[in-house]
Amino acid sequence: MDDRLPWFRTLSAAHRSWVTIVAQAGISGFVDWLKAGSTPALDGFRITGGVFGSAPRELLRTVSLRRTVELVRIAIGVAEQQFPALVEDPVERAAVADSLLRYSREVAFSAAAIYAAAAETRGAWDDRLEAMVVDAIVRGEAGDAVESRAAALNWDVSLPVTVLVGAPGEAAAGTDRRTALTGVHGDRYIVVLADEDPELLQKVADEVADAWFGPGPVVRGPVGTGLRGAIDSARQALSGLRAVNAWPAAPRGVTADDLLPERVLAGDAEAAATLRDKVFGPLVAAGGSLIATLDAYAAAGGALEPAARELFVHTNTVRYRLHRVTEVTGLDPWRPRDGAALRFALALGRLRAH
């Protein structure tokens, strides 16, 4: 093994010793089986316990299944060369060779079974750990313990992140936990996506909304950073999911920000504060003419000329001011949805002011 496998020479002395012990146990097991006349049936459990039972569990993490196969192949190859030479009778020599073939096959199957069981155990633990992290995000729990669990899943807590919520569906199998954590909470399916590129993250989120969720609306929270960003995104996405039925025409994968008016109607104080702080506040800071123009434009049913007459200005002035509203708030007064959000923001701001 030391001559043929370069990686074997890089193992610690303790690990090389354990590999040697396993090999010796395998040879001893074969000799004992031959002493019994090769009549007892080869039992996988006996092989597993007798040959591999002497190895510490740590060895599974150090020596992969592929490397274990290489080790077994070398051990069996040496045995095939040496054992028949120890038997003078040609008939018995053939019997030994045949027995070795049967025995080596069972050893290989036992090794595969051990690694499969370890993978299942590790997978079950990772699934439970993933569920705990997603549950902590949904409940708004942050701290070293949650970050430690996320790190154990190779989830990078420094990446931009967004959360999608909707009805459970057939999620894509084999998701990479470095970029996606998933969990089912009652009738809600939670997907936490992370990527170093925020633009790519939004594109992936759109694809996930179509592929991973069941029928019904899917709401995406805002992009944040790390664990706290995921908590904020999840909170807003869940708020949007509770309110999305008020907008029957909502697109699949609608953002929580697009549902701000519905969230306000559903009693979401955070959505009301967002409209006051990010829409009403900037409009006030930009000057009273923008708010007056919005009032006149709404009162005129979205017509420029009546609004201009009400304000005693030219229609181009109204048009310019409405463009300024878009620049200041990011909302377009010509779009019905944005117009509703602007009216909500004005009402909420005035209510708070009085």
Res 304: pLDDT: 92
Res 174: pLDDT: 46
Query: Which of 134, 142, 143, 128 lies closest to 163 in space, CA to CA?
Result: 134
Query: Which of 160, 277, 275 lies closest to 228 in space, CA to CA?
Result: 160
Going from the C-alpha of 160 to that of each of 27, 71, 152, 202, 272, the distances in angstroms are 54, 43, 19, 10, 25
Contact 149, 141 (CB under 8 A): no
Q: Strands, E, within 47-185: which ranges?
A: 160-166, 180-185
- The secondary structure of 148-178 as a DSSP string is HHHHHTT--TTSEEEEEEE-B--PPTT--TT
The string of pLDDT tens digits covering residues 266-298 is 999 999 999 999 999 999 999 879 999 999 999
Q: Supply 38's token pair.
A: 């090769």
The string of pLDDT tens digits covering residues 78-133 is 887 887 777 778 888 788 888 877 877 777 777 777 666 666 555 556 677 788 88
Does the pLDDT at position 45 exceed 60? no
> Cα angle vertex 42, ends 41, 45, to 5°?
120
Share above pLDDT 70 across residues of the chain, in percent, rounded to a whole number: 85
Q: How far is CA 217 from the centre of its chain?
A: 20
What contacts 219, CB < 8 A, 6 or more positions away? 164, 165, 166, 237, 238, 240, 241, 244, 253, 254, 255, 256, 259
